[in-house]
Structure 1
Amino acid sequence: MRVNRILLSSSLIVVALVIQVSVLARLHLPGAVPDLLLLTVLGLALVYGHVGGSLIGFGAGLLADLAPPADHAVGRYALVLCVIGYLAGLVKPESGQVRSATGPMAVVVAAAVGSTLLYAGVGALVGDTAARHVGLGGLLFSAALYDLLLAPFVVPGVMALARRAENDPLAENSSAKPPDLAAGWSSSGTGLRIGTQRGLRAKAARARVARAGRIKGVKRL
């Protein structure tokens, strides 16, 4: 990943995690908690593609696993967001711009449901049965509803920032091709000068031959 991608993604992930832990998690809403971190990963994956989405998702999930007050096994949410970021990156628009909001909203709903199921499934493998006590159906519905309501305020802004970083003129100049030495050589006029010098030398040689012939002719007379 390029430096501008890493800096932008890291900044957005940290801000999203701080807001989620300090604000959204303390709202005590029924069911699930609005997942701002998931929406940020989705917005970046829809611009950077499946490779960038999986890397960003893994880093964001690992940071969430280590940030207090996390009470689950380290790497659990990293696996979830890595898979979600990869799958979301597969539906990246070819032009880089979304023409309709229907596609991203469908991705948000699918990601909210898929991440909840995957998180519960991984938890069942490691012995965490909290999803059964809360009710998986209620978690799926509330997660999809909260993320869908929050998505219009998060995903478009994240995608706009990511596209703007992709179109950074400094990044484009740094990744531009090196100058063509042959083109620069001919455009600078060096080739023309060499040709001119050769022509002058040839004329001087012919002039010397002509003078020599004239001198010999004078001696003969």
Structure 2
Amino acid sequence: MRVNRILLSSALVVVALVVQVSVLARLHLPGAVPDLLLLTVLGLALVYGHVGGALVGFGAGLLADLAPPADHAAGRYALVLCVIGYLAGLARPENGRLKSATGPMVVVVAAAIGSTLLYAGVGALVGDTAARHVGLVSLMFTAALYDLLLAPFVVPGIMALARRADNDPLAESSSPSKKATDITSGWISAGTGLKLGGQRGGLGGLKTRARTRTARVGRIKGVKRL
């Protein structure tokens, strides 16, 4: 990952974690808590791809594991976000451009449900059964609902920042200024060809006239010789 990606990802992850811990977690909504950190990882993964998404997800999850008030084993959420970031990066289109908002919304819902299931599964492996008391179905439904409502305000902005900071070559190749430059250069070359052609035509005409005059002089001299 390049330096600009690391700096932008780190800044966005820290801001998302602070907002989630200090604001969203204190809303006391029924069921799950809106996962702003997950949406940040998804937005970056849809631009950086599966490798970048996995790295960003692991770093974001590890930071969330260590940030207070963490009540679970360190590395648990890092594993979850690493897998989610990798899978979300696979949904990145080949041309880097999303044709509609349907794809990202499906990714958000799948990530919300998948992260809840994966988090509960990892917790069951390490002996954490807190999800059973809350209700896993209720957690999945509320997590998908909250993340889906928050996604239109978060994911597009993060994707736009990532593309701008990454200097997306697709955006540069399709920029109007470059097209205008290409068109202008085409007009200049075409105009130069026309002018050169005219100059060649003029030189050819001068040569033809000189030959005609030479032929006429030759005939006159020949008549005088005769």
Shorter-chain TM-score bucket reads 0.7 to 0.9
Percent of matched pairs sharing the same residue: 88
Q: Partners of 1:9 and 1:142 in 2: how far apart?
A: 27
> In structure 1, what is the equivalent of residue 106 of structure 2?
106
> In structure 2, what is the equivalent of residue 33 of structure 1?
33
SS at structure 2 position matched to 1:92: coil
- Please state how far the C-alpha of 1:23 moved relative to its aligned partner: 0.1
SS at structure 1 position matched to 2:92: coil
Matched, 1:91 2:113: no
Partner deviation per Cα, 1:34-84 (whole Å, 9 max, x = no partner)? 000000000000000000000000000000000000000000000000000
Partner deviation per Cα, 1:14-36 (whole Å, 9 max, x = no partner)? 00000000000000000000000
- Please state how far the C-alpha of 1:168 moved relative to its aligned partner: 7.2
- TM-score, normalization by structure 1: 0.76
> In structure 2, what is the equivalent of residue 152 of structure 1?
152
> In structure 2, what is the equivalent of residue 218 of structure 1?
none
Q: Partners of 1:95 and 1:155 in 2: how far apart?
A: 18
- Please state how far the C-alpha of 1:89 moved relative to its aligned partner: 0.3
> In structure 2, what is the equivalent of residue 22 of structure 1?
22
Q: Partners of 2:168 and 2:116 in 1: how far apart?
A: 36
Q: Partners of 2:97 and 2:22 in 1: how far apart?
A: 32
Q: Partners of 2:76 and 2:166 in 1: how far apart?
A: 31
> In structure 2, what is the equivalent of residue 217 of structure 1?
none
Q: Are the structure 2 counterparts of residues 123 and 153 from structure 1 closer, same or farther at C-alpha, using a change threshold of 3 Å?
A: same
In structure 2, give the amino acid aligned to 1:2.
Answer: R
Matched, 1:161 2:161: yes
> In structure 2, what is the equivalent of residue 207 of structure 1?
none
Q: Partners of 1:96 and 1:68 in 2: how far apart?
A: 36
Q: Trace 1:129-140 onto structure 2 (pairs within 5 A).
A: 129-140=129-140
In structure 1, give the amino acid aligned to 2:144.
Answer: A
- Please state how far the C-alpha of 1:97 moved relative to its aligned partner: 1.6
- TM-score, normalization by structure 2: 0.74
SS at structure 1 position matched to 2:71: coil
- Please state how far the C-alpha of 1:160 moved relative to its aligned partner: 0.2
In structure 2, give the amino acid aligned to 1:117.
Answer: L
> In structure 2, what is the equivalent of residue 124 of structure 1?
124
- Please state how far the C-alpha of 1:12 moved relative to its aligned partner: 0.2
Q: Partners of 2:94 and 2:104 in 1: how far apart?
A: 14
Partner deviation per Cα, 1:136-185 (whole Å, 9 max, x = no partner)? 0100000000000000000000000000011179xx9xxxxxxxxxxxxx
Matched, 1:4 2:4: yes
Aligned pairs, number = 170
Segments of 4+ in structure 1 off by > 4 A?
none
- Please state how far the C-alpha of 1:93 moved relative to its aligned partner: 1.3
Q: CA RMSD in A?
A: 1.2
Q: Partners of 1:144 and 1:78 in 2: how far apart?
A: 20
Q: Partners of 2:101 and 2:17 in 1: how far apart?
A: 25
Q: Flag structure 1 segments of 5+ consecutive residues without an equivalent.
A: 173-221
- Please state how far the C-alpha of 1:124 moved relative to its aligned partner: 0.4
